Structure 1
Amino acid sequence: MSKITLTVIKADVGGSVGHTDVHPELLEIAKEHLKEKGKMLIDFCVTHVGDDLELIMTHKGGVDNKEVHKLAWDALWACAQRAKELKLYGAGQDLLKDSFSGNVKGLGPGVAEMEFEERKSEPVIIFMADKTEPGAWNLPLYKMFADPFNTIGLVIDPSMHQGFKFEVYDMIGHKKIIFETPQEIYDMLVFIGATGRYCVRKVYTKNNEIAAVSSTQRMNFMAGKYIGKDDPVLIVRCQNGLPAVGEALEPFANPHLVAGWMRGSHNGPMIPVSIEDAVPTRFDGPPRVCALGFQLAEGKLIGPQDFFKDVAFNNARKKALEIADYIRSMGPFEPHRLHLEELEYTTFPQVAEKLQGRWEEE
C-alpha cells in the first residue's frame, strides 16, 4: 500500500477586523485555488482559526513536496493580495518573502505534515491554535502520550504500554534530541517545560511509526522583529496503539497558560472552542484552540467533526474565562506580561538602549 501524506499549512494573510477573523472572501479564494490548481491533491479542507487561514491537504508526494508547498504558497499569496485590496489588518504579514523557494519552511507560514500508511481505520485530529506559540502543544502532547492520568491506554493497552519517543526541538539553537518515555520523562520535562525555547516537534511509537507532528516555525526569529505570534498547528493520529480520540482531546479539558494573547506579549489560558467561536476579541484573545477530526479513507478527508463544539468542554471554557479575568488584572506586570527575554522583539530593546546611560553603579 502506498503511503499517504497529510499536510497542514497555515498563515495569517490578513485579519478582519483587526486580528479577530478571516474574511469569507479569502476562504473562497483559497478553496477555488486548491480546487483548480491542486491536481496532485487527493483531498483538501480550507478553514480558519481566528485570523489564521488553514489549508489541510492529503496527497502522495511525501513531506516537503515542492509541488504541494508551492500550491499552498500561491493560494496564500493570492489571499494576501486580495487582503491588501480590502485593507485587511496585517495583510500578508506571515509571507516573509516575495517568492517561493522549494518549500514554505522559512518563508513564514506554519507547517505540520506526516507520511504514513493508512491503517484499517485512520482517525486523525488537526489541532489549530491562534494567539500563541509552538510551545503551547508541549503540555497537551506530554499528557496525551506520557501521562497515564490522562491516557489510560498507557496502563491497560498492551500496544501502548511500552511508551513513546518524543522529538524535542530547540527553536533557538536549532538542535533536536529524542527522549524515550517513560524512562526519560524527568529529563524531558526539564526542557519541554521551557515552552518559549523547546517544543515537542514529533512523537513516534517505539517502532518508529509517526504519531504526532507540530509546526515549529517562530515568526519573530525568522523576521528579526515582532510581527505576531506563530499560531501553531498539530496533527495527531489516534486509536489502535495510539491515544484514543477522547484521550487526545482530554488535555484541553483543563485550560493551561500559554504565551501570546495581546501583541504576542502576554500569558493567558488557551480556550478550547468550536470553529464558529474561534474569533478572539477580548484583549485580542484569549488564545484559542480548535480541533477538527477526520477519518481518512484512501486519502479522502471524511469529516470534519468539530470536537470542541461539544458541551463537555463548557466547564473548560468557563474556567479559562475566570483565569483570563484574574490574570488580566495584572496588566503590564509579570507573569501576565511575558518576561523580558521573550520581549526581545518588542519595545524593550529600544527602551533599554535609550536608558543605558542613566543606570548608575552602586
Structure 2
Amino acid sequence: MVRTTVSVIKADIGSLAGHHIVHPKLKEIAVSELAEAKSSRIIEDFYVTSVGDDLQLIMTHRKGVDSSEVHGLAWEVFKRCADAAKELGLYGAGQDLLKDAFSGNLKGMGPGVAEMEFEERPSDPIVVFMADKTEPGAFNLPIFKIFADPFNTAGLVIDPKLHSGFIFEIMDVIESKVVELSSPEDMYDILSIIGTPSRYVIRRVFRKVDREIAASVSTTRLSLIAGKYVGKDDPVAILRAQAGFPALGEILEPFSFPFLVAGWMRGSHTGPLMPVSERDARPTRFDGPPRIVALGFQ
C-alpha cells in the first residue's frame, strides 16, 4: 500500500504594515513554485494560504517525513519569497529564515514543520490548524481534550478504536528530550507536564490500539535557535478525523472556549486564542488577539 505524507511548513518571510498580513505577491510566488514541483512529481498536491504574517505551505507527497527534497523545496520557496519581500520593502523580510544555507532538513533553521505519514483510508479527512502570535504550547490543552477528555470526545467511550486511549509524545523544547505517556492511565502525569507550555509541548499523538499516527504539532522555538527574541513561533498542527479517530466536531470543540495562550504584543503577554476564518486571520489590535485557523481536507 502506498503511504501518503502530509507536510505543513510555515514561515514569516515578510509582512505588510508590521506583523499583520502576507503580501499577495508572496503567495503568488509560492503557488507558482509548488505548481512546478507538482508537475515534476516532487509533490502530489498543495494548498497555499496565510495566517497573519505567516506563509503556509500545505503539501501531500510520497517522500516520507523529513524528506530533504520536500524540505529543500519549501526552503527555496521561502527564500524566493523573502527576496521578493525585500524588493517590496516589506517588514521583517526573511525573519524566520535563521540560517544562510539549507542543510538537508528544516529542523533548527526557523520554519515551523508538522508532518505525518500514513496509509490512506478510503476516505481520510484531516484538519490543519495554523496559529499566529502564539507559541507551540498553545496546542497542549486542545490536543489533550481532543484525545484524552471523554467529556469533549465521546468517541473515547463509544468507539472501540478510541476506547483504549492514545499515546502522547511530549517534547522538552529546551533540553530537546522526548517522553511518551499514555492516556487514560498516565493522565495526571500528562497534565503535570503540559501545564508548562513554554517548555513542554505535545509533539505527536498515536492511537494506542495500533500506534497509528493521529496528530502532529510543530515544536520550533525561534528564540532558542536565534538566541534572542525574533517573533513568536506561530505553530501549526495536523490531525486525522473520523472512523477510528476523533470526529471533526470533537476536534473543533476545545477551541469554542477562549483559553489563554502566551503571545500577543512582542510575544510578552497572555490572552485568549481566537478561532477565525482565513479572511479574518489578521492580528492587529496589540498585535492580537492570537488567531487560529482550521482547514479541512479530504
Q: Same fold (TM over 0.5)?
A: yes
Q: How far did 1:37 drift?
A: 3.4
Q: Which has the larger radius of gyration?
A: 1
Distance in 2 (CA, whole Å) between partners of 1:162 and 1:120 is: 23
> Could you tell me which residue of structure 2 aligns to residue 181 of structure 1?
183
Whole-Å Cα distance in 1 between the matches of residues 248 and 37 of structure 2?
33
Across the aligned residues of Structure 1 and Structure 2, the Cα RMSD in angstroms comes to: 0.7
Aligned residue number for residue 137 of structure 1? 139
Residues 300-321 of structure 1, C-alpha deviations (whole Å, 9 max, x = no match): xxxxxxxxxxxxxxxxxxxxxx
Deviations 1:13-54 (A, max 9, x none): 001121110000000001001112342110000000000000
The answer for the alignment partner of 2:279 in structure 1 is 276
Deviations 1:218-241 (A, max 9, x none): 000000000000000000000111
Spell out the pairing of 1:22-41 with structure 2 (5 A cutoff): 22-38=22-38, 39=40, 40-41=42-43
The one-letter code of the counterpart of 1:23 is: H
Letter in 2 for 1:213: S
Note the 1:333-352 alignment, pairs <5 A: none
What is the CA–CA distance in structure 1 between the aligned matches of 2:217 and 2:160, rounded to whole Å?
26
Q: How does 1:321-360 map to 2 (within 5 A)?
A: none
Superposition pairs of residues 1-362 of structure 1, within 5 angstroms = 1-38=1-38, 39=40, 40-206=42-208, 207-295=210-298
Q: TM-score, normalised by structure 1?
A: 0.81
Cα distance in 1 for partners of 2:36, 2:181 equals 43
Structure 2 CA distance, aligned partners of 1:41 and 1:77?
19
Whether the aligned pair in 1 keeps the contact of 2:15 and 2:93 (CA below 8 Å) is yes
Q: Give the 3-state SS of the residue equivalent to 1:275 in structure 2.
A: coil
CA apart distance, 1:81:
0.5
User: Does the CA contact (< 8 Å) of 2:37 and 2:43 recur in 1?
Assistant: no
Identity of counterpart residues, as a percentage?
63
Q: AA paired with 1:261?
A: W
Deviation at 1:265, TM superposition (A): 0.6
**Separation in 2 of the partners of 1:233 and 1:95?**
17
d(CA) in 1 for partners of 2:239, 2:259: 19
The CA deviation at 1:117 is 0.2
Task: Work out the number of aligned pairs and report it.
Answer: 295
Q: Mark the runs of 5 or more structure 1 residues left unpaired by the alignment.
A: 296-362
1:156-197 C-alpha deviation (Å, 9 max, x unpaired): 112211110000000011101000100000011110010000
C-alpha distance in structure 1 between counterparts of 2:37 and 2:82, whole Å: 17
What SS is found at the alignment partner of 2:49? strand
Runs in 1 of length 4+ with deviation above 2 angstroms? none
TM-score by length of 2: 0.98
Q: After superposition, give the CA deviation of every residue in 1:251-289 in whole Å (9 maximum; x if it has no partner).
A: 000011000110011111100000000001000111000
Partner Cα separation in structure 1 for residue 66 and residue 17 of structure 2: 33
Residue in 2 that maps onto 1:300: none
TM-fit CA distance, 1:87: 1.1
Q: Distance in 2 between matches of 1:190 and 1:124?
A: 29
SS, match of residue 44 in structure 2: strand
SS at 2:80 equivalent: helix
Shift, 1:103, TM fit = 1.2
Q: Secondary structure at the match of 1:277?
A: coil
Secondary structure of the residue aligned to 2:294 is strand
Which one scores higher on RCO, CA 8 angstroms, separation ≥ 6?
2
Query: How far apart, CA to CA, are the structure 2 residues paired with 1:268 and 1:72?
Result: 31
1:316 match: none
- What SS does the corresponding residue of 1:5 show, helix, strand or coil? strand
User: Take 2:102 and 2:159, find their aligned partners in 1: how far apart are those partners?
Assistant: 45
Q: Which runs of 5+ in 2 are unaligned?
A: none
- Specify the code of the residue in structure 1 equivalent to 2:164: Q
